[in-house]
Amino acid sequence: MKRSIVFLLAILWAAQGIYAQNSAQTYRKDLPEIAISRDISLHFISPEPIQYVDISTHAIAGDLPLKNVLRLKIIPDSAAQFEGASILTIVGESFIAQYNLRYTEGQSLAIPSKVNILPEHTRPLDVPGISLTSKEMQDFAMRILQEPAGSTLRKAKAFGMQAKLNHVYTAGDHVFLDITYYNQTNLPYQIDEQRFKIEDKKITKATNVQSVEIKPVWQLYPNSTFKKQYRNVYVLQKATFPGNKVLNIELTEKQISGRVLTLQMKYKDILNADNL
């Protein structure tokens, strides 16, 4: 009987400890403290694009020079308004991080100019509308590029150019398209834009053309100039379209040459896609 009571008390003690560790509240005293000075800009580097920032004082100005970089600067003549510490909140695609910003006088070498947002500074967060983070998309895309192009699903030729659809994958609510472009001419191809449009498979003069453009939510490499070969991975939001329509993938060159190459993709290519 005594053993049962001791065992029950041990379970209750352990449960209490777990509850304390997973408290729904975060206290200011538990936040990491970062020093900031009026003479130094402070940069926070996020592993994901930053979605939201809150600074609990008007004495600090912030902006996002890059999607994953937050820059903070104390506004001139406002240091006196900066009493004690200010709380900085940063929300990424899948996390929330908070810091105590404490004002420090002078130009001490101990004052940081850059802070990396580390996993131990964050808590997981479910942001509506984001099923895959940019980091997850990048990891999937790099895995795709490690595989050989293999057999071609779809291809197109025009103006000494060739396009090949190597693979189609799905992950969550997204479609990953692995496409390679080949330039068989001696003229480098300067990409102007790449467009994805759902259009009628057959177009006649008497038919009103209905076109729905789909913007990629992410791509591995930015559009650039290539001489002979260019392989990239594009991520689209999963969409459905009937059998009498196709997804036209249009690559347009910058003027004056203006070569246009259109690769047609059928809906069954998405239906037969492999899961990542």
Helix ranges restricted to H, 96-230: 134-145
DSSP per-residue codes, 53-85: EEES-TTEEEEEEETTEEEEEEPTT-GGG--SE
**What average pLDDT does range 63-86 have in this prediction?**
82
Same domain, 40 and 166: no
Please give the share of the chain, as a percent, with pLDDT higher than 70. Answer: 84
- Rg from Cα positions in the chain: 26
pLDDT at 12 over 70: no
Same domain, 97 and 211: no
Look at residues 130, 145, 170 and tell me which one is the last residue of a structural domain.
Answer: 130
The per-residue pLDDT for range 196-207, each reduced to its tens digit, is 999 988 765 555
Same domain, 141 and 126: no
pLDDT at 7 over 60: no
CA angle 243, 244, 247 (to 5 degrees): 80
Look at residues 84, 112, 130 and tell me which one is the last residue of a structural domain.
Answer: 130
Same domain, 195 and 76: no
Q: Report the CATH number that the domain containing residue 95 is assigned in CATH.
A: 2.60.40
**What average pLDDT does range 132-144 have in this prediction?**
92
The per-residue pLDDT for range 20-59, each reduced to its tens digit, is 444 568 888 889 999 998 888 999 999 999 999 999 988 8
Q: What is the pLDDT of residue 83?
A: 61
Same domain, 82 and 158: no
Query: For the chain, what percentages of helix, strand and coil (3-state, to nearest 5) are there?
Result: 15, 45, 40
**What average pLDDT does range 63-72 have in this prediction?**
95
Instruction: Tally Cβ neighbours within 10 Å of residue 264.
Output: 17
pLDDT at 18 over 70: no
C-alpha count within 13 angstroms, C-beta hemisphere, residue 74: 23
Same domain, 86 and 145: no
pLDDT at 8 over 50: no
Report yes or no on 163 lying in a domain. yes
pLDDT at 275 over 80: yes
Domain that holds residue 45: 26-130
Total domain count, the chain: 2
